Amino acid sequence: MAITRRSLLQMIAGTSGALLAGRTFGNSNHSGPRAGTVDWTQLQNNVKGRVVVRGRADYESDRHTMAWNAVKPERFPDAIVHVASENDVSEAIRFARRHKLKVAIRGGGHNWHNAALRQGGVLLDLSRLNQLQVDVEQRKAVVQPGVTGAAFIANLAPHWLAFPVGHCPNVGLSGFLLNGGLGWNYGNWGPSCASIEALDIVDARGELIRADQHRNADLLWAARGAGPGFFGVVTRFHLKVFPLPRAILRSSLVYPIEDFDKVAAWLPEIARSVPAELMFSFYNREIEIQAWAFADTVADARNALQALETEPAGLHARSKHLNRESSVDEVFGAVNENSGPGPRYAGDGVWSNASSQDLLHKVRDSILAAPSDSSWVEFHLPQVQVRPQLPDMAFSVFASIHVGVYSNWNDAEHDAANRAWVRSTIASLEPLKVGYYVGESDLTVAANRAQQCFSPSAWGKLIELKRKYDPHNVFFSYLQHP
């Protein structure tokens, strides 16, 4: 099913939303913890990977490495299994079931809100499953959960192939793909999850199964967007990949915050006249307009960016780079600076079909009052040129602009101020929102936040599939859900 703006609005407005409002994922069958009575050596003897049990001297440092965000939640798995094979995944799930322990999953650990770290249960760290194969002729690839966007592109680009990997190259592909995956050039290539053709999954019984269009097709449907509520452990993603565009050009313009009103007035015109991937970033001191054109020829790419060459009267960029030919490394590593570990982060976002100017007026005061120079609001416009025929999939809420609100800082004493800033900024956008993206949204805000990441019918189907594939609720679900 192609998702159009109209069908999206119909889905959001649909009455079934109210009927599903009280329905959440699963029950608490595997509620543990009975960890104190568990003989973990049995598990360690049956898996090749290391098992780190809570209480061991190295547990806390190990737990910290499971989350990229330096803000670590007060949630403590009973044990962390650094799985070394698909068989380890099966063994760990069977062990957890026998002991009525729940199972949490970690790919690259980049979830903003540390979804992988849950209270009690067994955390499966998949980062060592990092095989990657590319079939150049068929334009297909198979990636394991430990592969990052950077590693994937490094293996594709020499063959003139590419994939809509995340905008920060170190982000793990696995959670990113399950979320939907708003990657580079997704306006043309579609959300990354639409390029998942099949998956190898260890299910809640500990069995390795295949999901594709012919086998367990409903699991494929769910894996394309269910995000951190997915009910199985994906050990391999079978992906379609794309020809690398021959020309990638970037333009960027930076303005002082004093030009706020003039820039705000120009943005809708840019959105109309620049058929390229757009990112508008607003800090408390400056505004940056960036555009990337992916095209077959330099002339086509230059044409797409042309409207940025003429600024409106009275606007003069403090820094301006137009039509810069960019290498694969420059583009796919361009927004790299935020992906390193260390700082404390908070983030959230909304989808909206409102104009950039209207959105900006809603967040104007917040931007000016941002708690640090590293707090920012980002409008991301994929600028769909040829909307791909998206399959029917769990990823069902989509709009013309994704507004991300982010903050990073160093001291724990500033946690509350930064979190409050992100929450209040998002709250000011509520009247203009269409829904949320499960990959960026702060699901801890409210119990119904996860639900608002999906169309009413997709949410209902996810609940049914969770019951079908995980009837005993072995896997943890969305944060705030049992």
Ligand X SMILES: Cc1cc2nc3c(=O)[nH]c(=O)nc-3n(C[C@H](O)[C@H](O)[C@H](O)COP(=O)(O)OP(=O)(O)OC[C@H]3O[C@@H](n4cnc5c(N)ncnc54)[C@H](O)[C@@H]3O)c2cc1C
CB 223 to ligand X: min, Å = 8
Q: Answer whether 481's CB lies under 8 Å from 118's CB.
A: no
Angle (CA) 26-32-33 rounded to 5° is 145
Residue 370 CA to residue 282 CA, distance in Å, equals 10
Q: Which ranges of 346-455 would DSSP assign to H, the alpha helix?
A: 356-368, 415-429
Binding status of residue 169 toward ligand X by CB under 6 A:
no
Name the segment binding ligand X (CB under 6 A); options: 70-78, 151-159, 167-175, 307-315: 167-175
Do the Cβ atoms of 456 and 1 come closer than 8 Å? Answer: no
Rounded CA separation 349/357 (Å): 17
Tell me the per-residue interface mask from 65 to 84 with ligand X, x by CB under 6 A, - otherwise. ---x----------------
Which of 63, 102, 167, 481 is the binder for ligand X (CB under 6 A)? 167
Nearest to ligand X of 95, 255 (CB atom):
95
- Among residues 109 and 120, whose Cβ is nearest to ligand X? 109
Give me the 243-282 binding string for ligand X, x by CB under 6 A, dash otherwise.
Answer: ----------------------------------------
Nearer to ligand X, 303 or 338 (CB): 338
Tell me which of 49, 120, 121, 166 binds ligand X, using CB under 6 A. 166
Cα-based distances in Å from 236 to 3, 132, 143, 163, 349: 27, 9, 6, 16, 29
Is residue 147 at the binding interface for ligand X, with CB under 6 A as the rule?
Answer: no
Give 400's contacts (C-beta < 8 A, 6+ positions apart): 5, 271, 352, 353, 381
Q: Decide: is 233 part of the binding site for ligand X (CB under 6 A).
A: yes
For CA atoms 53, 59, 64, 65, the dihedral sign is: negative
Full DSSP string of 322-373: EEEE--HHHHHTTTGGG-SS-SEEEEEEEEE-S-HHHHHHHHHHHHHT-SST
Specify whether the CB–CB gap between 417 and 366 falls below 8 A: no
Write the binding mask 412 to 441 for ligand X: x where contact by CB under 6 A, - elsewhere. ---------------------------xx-
Between residue 171 and residue 230, which ones bind ligand X under the rule CB under 6 A?
A: 171-172, 174-176, 178-179, 181-183, 228, 230
* Dist CA 132 CA 333 (whole Å): 20
Of the ranges 53-61, 108-116, 349-357, 364-372, which one interacts with ligand X (CB under 6 A)? 108-116
CB of 310 to ligand X, least distance (A): 30
Cα–Cα separations (whole angstroms), residue 53 to 44, 82, 120, 141: 10, 11, 11, 35
Q: How far is CA 40 from CA 54, 78, 95, 165, 190, in A?
A: 11, 10, 9, 37, 44
Minimal distance in Å, beta carbon 466 to ligand X? 12
- Residue whose CB is less far from ligand X, 200 or 259: 200
Does 108 bind ligand X (CB under 6 A)? Our answer is: yes
Considering only 29, 31, 130, 338, the residue that binds ligand X (CB under 6 A) is 338
CA dihedral 9→10→12→13, nearest 10 degrees, is 110
**Strand 132-135 with 140-143, pairing:** antiparallel
Asked, as a colleague might, if the bond just before 33 is cis with ω within 30 of 0, I would say yes
Residue choice 25, 112, 163, 469 for contact with ligand X (CB under 6 A): 112
**Residue 121 near ligand X by CB under 6 A:** no
Residue whose pair of structure tokens reads 């991300």 in the numeric block: 404
- Per-residue x/- marks for ligand X, 439-458, CB under 6 A? xx------------------
Among 24, 90, 111, 326, binds ligand X (CB under 6 A): 111
Residue choice 92, 141, 168, 363 for contact with ligand X (CB under 6 A): 168
Q: Residues interacting with ligand X, by CB under 6 A? A: 68, 104-112, 115-116, 126, 145, 166-168, 171-172, 174-176, 178-179, 181-183, 228, 230, 233-234, 338-339, 439-440
